[in-house]
Amino acid sequence: MNLSVGIVGLPNVGKSTLFNALLKKQAADVASYPFCTIEPNVGIIEVPDERLPVLAAIAGTEKIVPAVVEFYDIAGLVKGASQGEGLGNKFLAHIREVALIIHVIRLFEDENVAHVTQKINPKDDIQIIETELMLADLATLEKQKELKGKVTKEEQSFYDTVQLLKNHLAKGLAAHSLTFSPEQKAAIAQLNLLTLKPVINVFNISEQQLEHFPETEKRINEISESVSGNAPYLSFCAKMENEIVSLSPEEQVEYLAQYHLQETGLNRLIKKAYATLNLISYLTAGVKEVRAWTVTKGTLAPQAAGVIHSDFETHFIRADVVPYEIFVKAGGWINAREQGRVQTVGRDYEMKDGDVVEFKVGV
């Protein structure tokens, strides 16, 4: 499975600058006026994983296939977007296709970059976007037809859940703040509601704010607690991240150290995205290739095998599993087996992050 992420926010908050930094190249137009992004820029980003080169050296292969994240840079939303203001519903439709929303919020001051409301007010900016997403969801719910005649149990469940959501959203409350039964979740999954999607708030700060990070962090915490409840968040100097793209890995480490940072914003963002979506990576290591495979935490071995190929789930027999650290210490499959470090597991085995796996299937 690939992780798909939509980058959203008001115009000129730094979405495209962040996108460029993530892509490690100037893949999107960046301009100091609203709506410079006309179509959603899509980028496939490799997930940094320092384990893969180590496994490749052990397996004797040069082919490394990391997990990837699909990033969608979506044009800036404005107040009234749900009714067609700015570029309107066209871009709200793009957000419906992603698994996770990254909401970029402007904290930086720059007189050369216009703010769509002419003032830097992160709390208002967050509320504008959240309100537009809720209004868009309400519009989707209003389109659902009333029940007539004889209906199935599933149709009744869908209709009842829609009514519940309409009443909830009408109070200014996002769909994710409701508690759903498994049946209700299944009933409304087809609607792809925006406010049911997990969100990470990314506060785009300046280099000066990064230099005085304790004060900046305190402000971010206060903003987050006042408007976003338990939404995960992080700070990110998109301008700086974009500038270090051309540096060597060693130079990047030295540059980041100036700001007391140990890793790039890309790494921190992907780790936060994986944690938010409850994702892990298991690994395969052979002469043909070394590869990372993304699954949800709690995935059982047959379903994990199905990520490689659907037939693998159907014809699953068993799996040989070694934790990454043990596999590396042993020096590969042969030694791990000789040392009795390989665990043979069945259908009820729950995959763990960093498991090195060989599946046995009857095909």
Is residue 226 part of an annotated ligand binding site?
Answer: no
Residue recorded with tokens 């700060």: 205
Token digits of residue 298:
């709690």
Q: How many Cβ atoms sit within 10 Å of the Cβ of residue 250? A: 8
Is residue 12 part of an annotated ligand binding site?
Answer: yes
Side-by-side strand order, sheet with 41-46: 41-46, 68-73, 3-8, 100-106, 199-204, 233-236
Is residue 14 part of an annotated ligand binding site?
Answer: yes
Question: For the chain, what is the radius of gyration of the CA atoms?
Answer: 23
Which neighbouring-strand residues pair with 41?
A: 73
Measured CA to CA in angstroms, residue 63 lies from 56, 60, 304 at distances of 7, 9, 21
| SS3 assignment, position 73 | strand
Which pairing describes strands 64-65 and 290-296: parallel, antiparallel, or unpaired?
parallel
Residue recorded with tokens 């299944």: 186
Token digits of residue 287:
């002469």
Distance CA 197, CA 96 (A): 9
Is residue 15 part of an annotated ligand binding site?
Answer: yes
Residue 204 near residue 108 (C-beta atoms within 8 A): yes
Which pairing describes strands 316-323 and 343-345: parallel, antiparallel, or unpaired?
antiparallel
Which parts are annotated binding residues? 12-17
Which parts are annotated binding residues for ATP? 12-17
